[in-house]
Amino acid sequence: MKGIYSALLVSFDKEGNINEKGLRQIVRHNIDVNKVDGLYVGGSTGENFMLSTDEKKRIFEVVKDEVKDQIKLIAQVGSVNLKEAVELAKFATDLGYDALSAVTPFYYKFDFKEIKHYYETIINSVDNKMIIYSIPFLTGVNMNLDQFAELFENDKIIGVKFTAADFYLLERMRKRFPEKLIYAGFDEMMLSATVLGVDGAIGSTFNVNGIRARQIFELAQEGKIAEALEIQHVTNDLITDILENGLYQTIKAILEEQGIDAGFCRQPMKESTPEMRANAKAMYEKYFQ
Ligand code: NGF
């Protein structure tokens, strides 16, 4: 389960319906061009928290059907609706997903006992493995080292997707949990996270920039830090441009430049303007041609 995973984008049509043909094209692009080791399906990048249960299931189905067993698949099933999370966990497990992941429950201020109950309820309902999805800047949930240790006592909880800039905590986790999988979640900090010993990375920008992501990861693992840093610099120029223009709209527009029907974002996310699309075209020409 180690390596580079794209946090999969989902194509929507103008009315906000899933565009299955476009979704399949994005999957293929990740396998054939970005050459990723796996896909993280149903995450933030998949606009998952704006979708119905049936839509989430359909995306899991279409992706599995397109991928077959070519690369690894992680299904993000987390939801503040625990019953939905369990239903999705069973569904993705039956489809053959290699692992599950669940965002820490958000919006309400759940205490740690409630968070632990949430993870154990999901993972104990299926014969599968769980990767905690920790993204404090969006969820407001900050778990400490001892709390991660308590969750990791369950052998089915095999790792964490660490989307945070707290590299002190990351280093402490690496030392204390050498047998658990840690995935870097911020693409712009991948080099530093790799130096600290992460096992892989899961990112939105890998949908277009997967080759550079792998180069950074592998060069850093080989100790070639200066070379890795050069590629991180280019990558971060790209990420800065993407973030200034609108994250998911821009990644989709860059894919469109490559002939992929990446479509629209789901409302309330805004539609890209002609100016945003022109900026994305310029990014494509600058970074990918
Ligand atoms: O999109 C976000 C939200 N974070 C992603 C990634 O951590 C999310 C990250 O790649 C993800 O994996 C998921 O879909 O659940 C950033 O987009 C990237 O580093 C640019 O900041 O922050």
Residue-level pLDDT at 1: 96
- Which tokens is 135 given? 């993204």
What whole-number distance in Å separates Cα of residue 272 and Cα of residue 120? 40
**Pocket flag, ligand 1, residue 205 (CB < 6 Å):** yes
Number of helices and strands in the chain (H, E): 12, 8
Question: What percentage of the chain has pLDDT greater than the value 70?
Answer: 100
- ipTM higher than threshold 0.90: yes
**Pocket flag, ligand 1, residue 200 (CB < 6 Å):** no
Which residues participate in catalysis according to the annotation? 133, 161
Per-residue pLDDT tens for 53-74? 999 999 999 999 999 999 999 9
Could you tell me the pLDDT band of residue 229, with boundaries at 50, 70 and 90?
Answer: very high
Residue-level pLDDT at 283: 98
Question: What percentage of the chain has pLDDT greater than the value 90?
Answer: 100
Average pLDDT over residues 221-243: 98
Helix or strand run (H / E) with residue 182 = strand 181-184
Task: Return the best residue to mutate from 44, 135, 161 for the ligand 1 pocket (most ligand atoms within 8 A of CB).
Answer: 44
Angle between helices 53-67 and 20-32 (to 10 degrees): 40
- Which tokens is 246 given? 């609108």
Average pLDDT over residues 35-45: 98
Q: Please enumerate in sequence order all residues whose Cβ is within 8 A of that of 21, keeping only pairs 6 or more positions apart, or say none.
A: 11, 261
Q: Whole-model pTM above 0.90? A: yes
